[in-house]
Amino acid sequence: MRDFNNQSIVITGAGSGLGKATALRFARAGWSIAVADLNQKRGEVTVDEITLLGGTAFFQRCDVAKLEDIQALHEACEQRWGGVDVLVNNAGIASSIGPIDHVSMEEWQRIIDINLMGVVRGCHVFSGPMKKRGSGHIVNIASIAGITSTPMLASYNAAKAAVIALSETLRWELKDKNMGVTVVCPALFPTNLTESIQVSGGVQQAMVKKEMAKSKLSADDIAGAIYDAVLVNKFMLLPHKATRLQWWLKRLSPDMYQWFYSRQTAKKKPGK
């Protein structure tokens, strides 16, 4: 088990879903929480719930698409705690579903700016001071989509794959600075993520919600796994059991993985 200085944690996107569940998990263990989110109302509800538990938290409005917001978030933590032990780059959005020639360049920009560059900005701003203090941990929330590359989700897959590559890089880069990195690759689970799908009509939202409802794990379960991973400095966290096989198969035998995966996709086609 690792020891942290003040047990302080910053979580982006902590107003909802996995970010909120992670905030509550760490708060129950006595950590102080910086709840950062674009959505002030939801972020303040998370703070209220932490306070009701007897925990300590503050809300900071933060758009991870803006470097100055992340810098202000860092400054607020420095002033309160004199440093941060753990950063969770969790804020993220869902992409629209569609083939590469249909999804607009604006949609690509939106996904890359938040799901990839939001994580990059967090690592860029918080890692330097952690290095100086000689300890810290960064948790990046990716997705199994970054490994399985499901068709029709190119922008989301590409952003999450890049978050995995970024995390692998930082794992080695920061090791000598007494810092740890965890990358989390969940499959679908129920949250408010579908609200960020920008296609109107609700068909895509309903499709994703239906898949999310099949998850054997809740946001609370995954938050618990994140808490444990931080304490033991576990790098790759694949909370859903079934995805662990996909991960290993793809690494051990990419051809066998491809064969297995194309059979799975064929089975899902209507009439099969």
Ligand X SMILES: NC(=O)c1ccc[n+]([C@@H]2O[C@H](COP(=O)([O-])OP(=O)(O)OC[C@H]3O[C@@H](n4cnc5c(N)ncnc54)[C@H](O)[C@@H]3O)[C@@H](O)[C@H]2O)c1
Out of 16, 95, 96, 127, the only residue in the binding site for ligand X (CB under 6 A) is 16
Query: Does residue 218 interact with ligand X by CB under 6 A?
Result: no
Residues in 117-156 at the binding interface with ligand X, rule: CB under 6 A: 118, 141, 143
**Does the footprint of ligand X cover residue 204 (CB under 6 A)?**
no
Nearest to residue 86, comparing CAs of 27, 134, 130? 130
Give catalytic status of residue 156 as yes or no: yes
From residue 162 to residue 191, what is the string marking binding to ligand X with x (rule CB under 6 A)? ------------------------x-xx-x
- Measured from the CB atom, is 78 or 195 closer to ligand X? 195
Catalytic residue (one of 156, 227, 257, 261): 156
12 binds ligand X (CB under 6 A): yes
Q: Given candidates 24, 27, 50, 64, which one binds ligand X under the rule CB under 6 A?
A: 64
When the beta carbons of 66 and 133 are compared against ligand X, the nearer one is 66
d(CA 212, CA 215): 6
Interface with ligand X includes 107 (CB under 6 A)? no
Sign of CA dihedral 62, 131, 111, 236: negative
Applying CB under 6 A, the residues found at the interface with ligand X are 12-13, 15-19, 37-39, 42, 62-65, 90-93, 114, 118, 141, 143, 186, 188-189, 191-193, 195-196, 212
Please identify every residue annotated as catalytic.
156
